[in-house]
Amino acid sequence: MITTKPSMQAILGDGIALRLLTEHDLSRTLGWRNRDAARIQFKHSEKLMLADHKVWFEGKKNLTDAYYFIVENKDDGQAVGQVAIYNINRTNQSAEVGTFIAAPEAEGRGFMKRALLALMAWAFKDLKLNRIYLEVFATNLRAIRIYESCGFSLYGQAGEMLLMQKTTELNMPEGRASANV
Ligand SMILES: CC(C)(COP(=O)(O)OP(=O)(O)OC[C@H]1O[C@@H](n2cnc3c(N)ncnc32)[C@H](O)[C@@H]1OP(=O)(O)O)[C@@H](O)C(=O)NCCC(=O)NCCS
């Protein structure tokens, strides 16, 4: 069933929930993204200003082929990171995932891996995708390890970026999706 983004329910995963990014989150997510350790992992690695970040969000929030999520810790509702799925192609049943950024105080606690698993479960089931892909700097071993452990495999390289994909939901660890799209 197709519903609009505002009526979308949270996507529930193991100890985490994914809710849509809102304007109120932007100063916090900008702080996560502008940390040196985070921004160097993105192709556009310059520090961003809040005004630019708001313009970026305005351009994204109503897209029907992209969803930007805040990852919340289910125990206390705290925002622990950001994930996204975009370039959703309903004809080819494919989409790209990315914009993975952990809140510094929550890094290394498994939230981001569980967020990616929940996002994929939702995308395969509710968006009816059969291929999810991403790109990551070949030097970003921390992220690559998460992607591999979530079932992504290498299918190419573009300059410094590795291209990874997951083509079916088979053999994926259990995930639950409760959103209407
Ligand atoms: C990549 C990122 C989102 C991961 O967040 P996180 O909170 O560490 O993720 P998790 O805690 O869910 O997963 C950590 C996993 O990485 C592994 N890991 C942690 N540090 C590592 C390191 N230095 N090298 C390799 N693997 C590492 C852990 O062992 C764990 O794997 P496991 O579950 O198999 O044990 C976070 O580090 C981040 O925001 N990085 C900067 C932005 C970025 O690189 N985004 C991805 C761009 S493609």
Task: Determine the pLDDT at residue 168.
Answer: 78
**Pair 135, 158: CB distance under 8 Å:** yes
Q: Residue 6 pLDDT > 70, yes or no?
A: no
Distance 2 CA to ligand 1 centre (A): 33
Task: Determine the pLDDT at residue 13.
Answer: 97
Ligand 1 nearest-atom number relative to CA 109: 11
d(CA 101, CA 121) in angstroms, rounded, equals 19
Q: Is 39 in the pocket of ligand 1 (CB under 6 A)?
A: no
Give me the DSSP letters along the chain.
----GGGPPPEE-SSEEEEE--GGGHHHHHHHHHSHHHHTTSSS-S---HHHHHHHHHHHTT-SS-EEEEEEETTT--EEEEEEEEEEETTTTEEEEEEEEE-GGGTTSSHHHHHHHHHHHHHHHTS--SEEEEEEETT-HHHHHHHHHTT-EEEEEETTEEEEEE--STTPPP-------
d(CA 10, CA 151) in angstroms, rounded, equals 23
pLDDT in tens, 49-67: 999 999 999 999 989 999 9
The percent of residues above 70 in pLDDT, for the chain, comes to 90
Pick from 1, 13, 27: which is nearest to 103 by CA?
27
Q: What average pLDDT does range 69-87 have in this prediction?
A: 98
Reading the block at residue 40, the tokens are 């160097």
Q: What average pLDDT does range 3-21 have in this prediction?
A: 87
Distance 13 CA to ligand 1 centre (A): 18
pLDDT in tens, 106-142: 999 999 999 999 999 999 999 999 999 999 999 999 9
The mean of the pLDDT values for the chain is 91
Which of 3-7, 11-15, 147-151 has the weakest average pLDDT?
3-7
Ligand 1 nearest-atom number relative to CA 149: 34
Q: Whose CA is nearest to atom 14 of ligand 1?
A: 108
Give residue 113's identity as a one-letter amino acid code: K
Q: Is 33 in the pocket of ligand 1 (CB under 6 A)?
A: no
Distance 94 CA to ligand 1 centre (A): 24
Q: Pick from 145, 150, 160, 161 the residue to mutate for probing ligand 1's pocket: most ligand atoms within 8 Å of its CB.
A: 145
Pick from 145, 140, 17: which is nearest to 83 by CA?
17
Distance 4 CA to ligand 1 centre (A): 32
